[in-house]
Structure 1
Amino acid sequence: MVSAPILHVNGDKVDDVSRAMKLALAYQQKFRKDVVIDLVVYRRRGHNELDEPGFTSPMMYNKIKDLPSIAKLYEQQLISDSILSASDAESFRKAHFASLDESLAAADPEKYQPPELEMPRGWNEMRWPQEGEWKKEVETGFDPKALREIGERSVQVPEDITVHPRLIKMHMAKRLQSLEKGEGLDFATAEALAFGSLLLEGYHVRLCGQDSGRGTFSQRHAILTDQKSERAVVPLETLRSSPPSGANSKAVGTFEVVNSSLSEYAVVGFEQGVAWVTPKLLPIWEAQFGDFNNGAQIMLDTFLGSGETKWGMQSAMTLLLPHGYDGAGPEHSSARIERFLQLTNEPLSRDKAFVPNMHLVNVTTAAQYFHLLRRQMKREYRKPLVVFSPKGILRLPAAASSLAEMDKGTSFQPVLTENVTDPSKVERVVLLSGKMYYDLSKQRAERKLDGRVVFVRVEEISPFPYEAIAKALKPFSSAKSVMWAQDEPENAGAWTFVMPRLQQILPKSRKLQYVGRDAMATPAPGVKQYFEEQRKSIEEQVFAGL
């Protein structure tokens, strides 16, 4: 329920409509609250040029066709009140129609010249990327000393705030320990470092979503709540109110954390609008679980994927969609990677240059996530980013990173490979993406197959990193088999997207094998036993024959 006043007004009464609009705007501006205008009107014509409403509502439209138009009613009222003469009204009508005719003629495609529009709020500082420019690395590293201070500030609270004791031990103390060592930084810490470093560089960060302050998996805690008064504080905001030594408070960006309602359609639409306000803003929408983006599908199709193509509107809109197969069932496992891949404009041919309309990633280390967030702002143009964000590896020690991996001179890597002592002894190369890497790495160690099986992680799925993958595969040319492995069913995930592209990299004599679940009508099974059986089957197929 929205507790808002409602103004009912007859659409035929022009002055009343104007008065209602002014009243509503004045109310909204004074009280900063919602107000509803119930404008009572009717449709005079059909939905389009071919539609005739009399087909289905003949009695009503027999009455409507005899009613005078709103313009005619208002004209009669003005003449009756001696505000306008009949001759003046006729002159105005003729002049207006003449103006419309002139505009119609000027709109002839053969003559029309689109006007040069001024780009507001800093967008004139952006440029259009060149074809193939996406392949270039963008340096996104930051000074480790400054990162350490940002990390410490991310868990500092005023003395009068009593933090939950579990958070002190499991979140705050653990973060401070990892920062002191410079190692073991988890995803949430890397995210805080990315946010804080962008703020110090003058960029703004807005994080909005479902449980975004705490984080769906209780990993973020960007907002800390006093256990006695429920007063909430956002530690990273102090970077602006009390900037580190050498930083100018006026140059530090703003940090907003918004816990939104479970209304994906409305919220994503609003956040997309915010993303167009300024290129200095990193706008992020986070779903509670990845498949919640279904509720915003219209916004994603209409604006996120094609807004730049249709209207020339660049956007750094970033989606965090928790994705991963951990037995949670059909509705909380998949962010529907396959659907987002369909939204990309990537050509099927490797040789065809293009400018990607968005980036889709499934990263496996905290440092990679850090660099991705910073890359959104450090380029001279803006592109949407969809992160199929982790769930089970958020705190996994193997997925943690060091400050050195975020130091100056470092950047995001679209492909991660493994160092092998003797590449000639590698019998199988398995390409994959996401958390599955850690599950299979553990199995490989247990089966004592290190050195015989190599995993190549495709961190950025689109635009497809042909050159980086080819470079990663080159040392293992003598391998007997090459596989693509995924947790998702065969008709989902990245398989149908990567398969024709990987075949353009591999020699024609080399067959690419698929390992994953069979095609399914749901993203994942709803019965735990079936899920485990499928998981074990995938593991057996990956290592079969070795």
Structure 2
Amino acid sequence: MQMAYCQHIGVEFMFINDLQQCQWIRQKFEKPGVMQFTLDEKRTLLARMVRSTRFEEFLQRKWSSEKRFGLEGCESLIPALKTIIDKSSENGVESVIMGMPHRRINRVTDRHITLSLMANPSHLEAVDPVVQGKTKAEQFYCGDSDGKRVMSILLHGDAAFAGQGIVYETFHLSDLPSYTTHGTIHVVVNNQIGFTTDPRMARSSPYPTDVARVVNAPIFHVNADDPEAVMYVCNVAAQWRATFHKDVVVDLVSYRRNGHNEMDEPMFTQPLMYKQIKKQKPVLQKYAEKLIAEGAVTVRPLVSMKKCSVTLVRWLPLCLLRISLSTEVPFHSHLCIHRQTVMKSQFTLDWALGEYMALGSLLKEGIHVRLSGQDVERGTFSHRHHVLHDQNVDKRTCIPMNYIDPNQAPYTVCNSSLSEYGVLGFELGFAMASPDALVLWEAQFGDFHNTAQCIIDQFISPGQAKCVRQNGIVLLLPHGMEGMGPEHSSARPERFLQMCNDDPDTYPLYDCNWIVVNCSTPANYFHVLRRQILLPFRKPLIIFTPKSLLRHPEAKSSFDDMLPGTHFRRLIPEEGSASQNSAGVKRLIFCTGKVYYDLTKERKTRGLEDTVAISRIEQLSPFPFDLVKAEAEKYPQAQLLWCQEEHKNQGYYDYVKPRISRVFNNTRPTW
């Protein structure tokens, strides 16, 4: 329900099921005379309108042939943001993280406040969860558990706000304990047109902001041609966030004076609308005439305002929070969760225990670890059990890994909402905040990453080249062709390998955009997780994790493989009887991941253990040219082969073939 309280403001809040919050909003809008401004406030607002308008005019003169996606028609946006930041700063906010489409801005108040703008691709709204993740991380690391010092502002377009599913996904993170940023202020630049599509064709709901109702966020509709109404609404929005620490939406109802961009001709598709727009006075002219008529300003001071001021950004360092955990809690866990004890008695470890030891050892060394995704607490395949549930007390849980050492770093493991796009973006933003944390996102099945493809394509794969920022996020993607059919089988390794920025003819190594691995042993998985945080640089890490190998009797490692002096093995060579009979080996099969165990079983069945060598390429990118060459040279008479489970046009084949051939300049018989 929309309730209009003055000529230029409408408020949606009757769907909010909290009486205190509804009464709070009523006091802000139903009390007579609430929109009264002092002379100084009006002059400040006018000065900000001048800066906003003149800056747009400068850009138009300087880059007249460029697409700017300018503010003409919604010049009040800049004063709106300034008002939000000023009021939030008064309420104790020290750092603001912003995300927005297309344009780049950076404004700072006179108070000591850090303003950070996240780089955004042309995929509108894709930056939303990234901003939330970075905000959460900054709150975490400076001990801001209530979001009083660090906050986020998200700018949206009306068509994208209504049409992009990531908006809904991001809203649904807003109140989840491990994802909340304690209230985001959403500003929608509602220019009532999505390129050439008007609202009648762009959405089914009355307002573009209706998606915000799902989290009971109040929605303030305000006429962007009334700067005072905009200023008041933005003050209220900032106060709402400071009071209730919940999301709020400001809907700036405006227009695009020049169409979708400065090179567009909107009359082609919205002729009647743009006939009316051409008749509209610019908002600065309207407001200046209003203040002159009131006697608040004269023409001479107005002219003197037409000089843009320059502000400086002051960066505040993050403080790192370390939480000490040393509590003894009697707990009744499920009887089936005793695998770790059994494995330890056999002095071997499986996949789950290898992961547990990797993460636990990093925590003990002071490295914060965050594992997020659908069902990650238990694991999709019931193998992890990082959160124990008391079998006798409802909702009573325990995270044993937070009780390893009194001086350890905290471990965050959290089941996410049923979202890939939103959650992966969130975790990427979290990983941006500190290179000293290990941040992992696990897909329920490897193919689920396809609904987060935008984050992978636009942020993770090209992140260093586009933004000159290194990021160490880890993607865990369960992969294996195990009879499940086309779904829930393949993590599409070919896609990740196609996005590697290396040249197959380049030898030796190169500066890669990310690391792609497919480990076949728990020990190697242990090492690659530790290596990710101990490397002197950061690259995204893509891991194709197993399903059947989680409990495969042969997929075990000795604790000796994790002692000091051991390390991640980019290639695991043949170590059986064939390695002792190198001259007699007729075939050297290279493979990766689970298929190794299928091959060794078949080799044993056929009695070929002395004549067929099998070597595992554990790290696919950067490709281990040196180790492949050394392994192949051990068997000079052997034909080189590649084996994979996947179809020939999928998996790793197209990636590894030219690289193995390059090692020997196509002089060895292969394939």
Normalising by the residue count of structure 2, what TM-score does the alignment of the two structures yield? 0.64
Q: How much does 1:340 deviate?
A: 0.9
SS class of match (1:486)? coil
CA shift in 2, pair 1:120/1:436, >3 Å: farther
User: Which digits, 9 at most, give the CA deviation of each residue in 1:478-536, with x for residues without a partner?
Assistant: 12x221111111111111111111101236342321xxxxxxxxxxxxxxxxxxxxxxx
1:231 aligns with 2:402: no
Instruction: Please say if 1:491 is aligned against 2:649.
Output: yes
| Distance in 1 separating the partners of 2:584 and 2:430 | 53
Contact 1:346–1:354 at 8 Å: present in 2 too?
Answer: yes
Q: Counterpart in 2 of 1:131?
A: none
1:284 to 440, 445, 455: 440
Please list the CA deviations of residues 294-338 of structure 1 after superposition, one character each: whole Å capped at 9, or x if unmatched: 111111111101111111111111100111100111121111111
Output the CA distance in 1 between the equivalents of 2:376 and 2:613.
Answer: 36
| Closer/same/farther in 2, CA of residues 205 and 73 from structure 1, 3 Å limit | farther
CA contact (8 A) 1:269 1:299 kept: yes
2:644 match: secondary structure: strand
Cα distance change, pair 473–122 in 1 and its aligned pair in 2 (3 A): farther
Contact 2:510/2:622 (8 A) holds in 1: no
Structure 1 stretch displaced more, 252-261 or 27-36: 27-36
Instruction: Give the alignment partner of residue 431 of structure 1, picking from 587, 590, 596.
Output: 590
Structure 2: distance between partners of 1:452 and 1:315: 44
DSSP 3-state at the match of 1:39: strand
Question: Counterpart in 2 of 1:462?
Answer: 621
C-alpha displacement at 1:50, in angstroms? Answer: 2.2
Instruction: Look up the match of 1:132.
Output: none
Unaligned 5+ runs, structure 1 = 104-114, 124-152, 244-248, 514-546
Return the offset for 1:87. Answer: 1.6
1:206 equivalent to 2:370? Answer yes
Q: What is the match of residue 66 of structure 1?
A: 279
Q: Which residue of 2 aligns with 1:512?
A: 670
What is the letter of the counterpart of residue 473 of structure 1?
Answer: A
Is the alpha carbon distance of 1:180 and 1:17 closer, same or farther for their aligned partners in structure 2, counting shifts above 3 Å?
A: farther
- Does 67-76 or 295-304 show the bigger shift? 67-76
Deviation of the 1:379 alpha carbon: 1.3
| Structure 2 CA distance for partners of 1:80 and 1:391, relative to 1, 3 Å | farther
**For this pair of structures, how many residues does the alignment match?**
450
Q: Percent identity?
A: 41
Residue 138 of structure 1: aligned partner: none
Name the counterpart of 2:234. Answer: 21
- Residue range with higher mean Cα deviation, 451-460 or 19-28: 19-28
Candidates 182, 207, 215, aligned match of 2:347? 182
Shift of 1:75: 2.5
Does the CA-based 8 Å contact 1:157-1:235 persist in structure 2?
no
SS at match of 2:305: helix
Q: Are 2:633 and 1:474 aligned?
A: yes
| 1:501 paired residue number | 659
Write the letter of the residue equivalent to 2:232: R
Which residue is equivalent to 1:534? none
* 2:335 equivalent among 162, 165, 176: 165
- Distance in 1 (alpha carbons) for counterparts of 2:462 and 2:445: 24
Indicate conservation of the 8 Å contact 2:508/2:625, yes or no. Answer: no
Once residues 502 and 661 of structure 2 are traced to their aligned partners in structure 1, the CA distance between those partners, rounded to angstroms, is 16
Give the counterpart letter for 1:449 in structure 2. Answer: L
| Cα deviation, residue 451, structure 1 | 1.4
Question: Match for 2:329: what amino acid?
Answer: P
Question: How far apart are residue 117 of structure 1 and its match?
Answer: 10
1:305 — aligned with what? 461
- How far residue 16 of structure 1 moved from its aligned partner, in angstroms, is 2.6
Structure 1 445/272 Cα, relative in aligned 2: closer, same or farther at 3 Å?
A: same
Q: 1:269 aligns with which of 425, 430, 451?
A: 425
Change (3 A) 1:28 1:397: farther
Identify unmatched segments of 5+ residues in structure 2: 1-213
Distance in 2, matches of 1:15 and 1:269, equals 36
For the residues of structure 2 that align with 1:265 and 1:80, how far apart are their CA atoms?
51
For the Cα contact (< 8 Å) 1:207–1:285, is it kept in 2?
Answer: yes
What's the CA shift for 1:195? 0.9
Q: Which residue of 2 aligns with 1:191?
A: 355
Q: Judging changes above 3 Å, is the alpha-carbon distance between structure 1 residues 208 and 57 closer, same or farther for their aligned structure 2 residues?
A: same
Change (3 A) 1:426 1:277: same
Partner in structure 1 of residue 175 of structure 2: none
Mark the CA change 1:497 to 1:43 in structure 2 (over 3 Å): closer, same or farther: same
Code of the residue aligned with 1:296 in structure 2: it is A
Q: How does 1:62-461 map to 2 (within 5 A)?
A: 62-93=275-306, 95-96=307-308, 121=318, 158-159=329-330, 161-167=331-337, 172=338, 174-183=339-348, 185-228=349-392, 229-239=394-404, 242-243=405-406, 249=407, 252-351=408-507, 353-419=509-575, 420-461=579-620
- Is the partner of 2:589 in helix, strand or coil? strand
DSSP 3-state at the match of 1:76: helix
Which stretch of structure 1 is more off in the superposition, 319-328 or 445-454? Answer: 445-454
Question: Is contact 2:509–2:623 with CA below 8 Å preserved after alignment?
Answer: no
How far 1:40 moved relative to its partner?
1.9
Give the Cα–Cα distance (whole angstroms) in 2 for the partners of residues 30 and 391 of structure 1.
Answer: 47
Q: In 2, distance between residues paired with 1:19 and 1:282?
A: 42
Question: Which amino acid in structure 1 is aligned with residue 556 of structure 2?
Answer: A
Pairing of 1:512-531 with structure 2 (within 5 A): 512-513=670-671
Equivalent position of 2:42 in the other structure: none
Alpha-carbon displacement from aligned partner over 1:382-415 (angstroms, at most 9, x marks no partner) = 1100001111101223111122111111110110
RMSD of aligned residue pairs (Cα, Å): 2.5
1:5 maps to amino acid? P
Q: What's 2:66 paired with?
A: none
User: Secondary structure of 1:65's partner?
Assistant: helix
Letter in 2 for 1:190: G
The structural deviation recorded for 1:11 is 2.0
> Contact 1:122/1:279 (CA < 8 Å) preserved in 2?
no
Task: Using the TM superposition, give the Cα deviation of residue 119 of structure 1 relative to its aligned residue in structure 2, in angstroms.
Answer: 9.9
SS in 1 for 2:614: strand
TM-superposed deviation, 1:421 = 2.2
* Whole-angstrom distance in 2 between the partners of 1:487 and 1:510: 24
Q: 1:6 aligns with which of 219, 226, 243?
A: 219
Contact 1:121 1:278 in 2 (8 A): no
Contact 1:157 1:233 in 2 (8 A): no
Displacement of 1:450 in angstroms is 1.0
1:291/1:449 Cα in 2 relative to 1: closer, same or farther (>3 Å)? same
TM normalised by structure 1 equals: 0.78
Contact 1:286–1:321 (8 Å) recurs in 2:
yes
* Corresponding residue number in structure 2 for 1:540: none
- Distance, in Å, in 2 between the alignment partners of 1:116 and 1:76 is 33
C-alpha separation between the residues in 1 aligned to 2:486 and 2:376?
23
Alpha-carbon separation, structure 1, partners of 2:301 and 2:666: 80
How many angstroms does 1:36 deviate by?
2.7
Distance of 2:584 and 2:563 partners within structure 1 = 34
Report the 3-state secondary structure (helix = DSSP H, G, I; strand = E; otherwise coil) of the residue aligned with 2:450: helix
Deviation at 1:44, TM superposition (A): 1.8
Which of 257, 262, 270 aligns to 1:49? It is 262
Cα displacement (A) at 1:236: 0.7
Q: 1:99-119, CA deviations, whole angstroms, 9 ceiling, x for partnerless residues?
A: 79xx9xxxxxxxxxxx99979
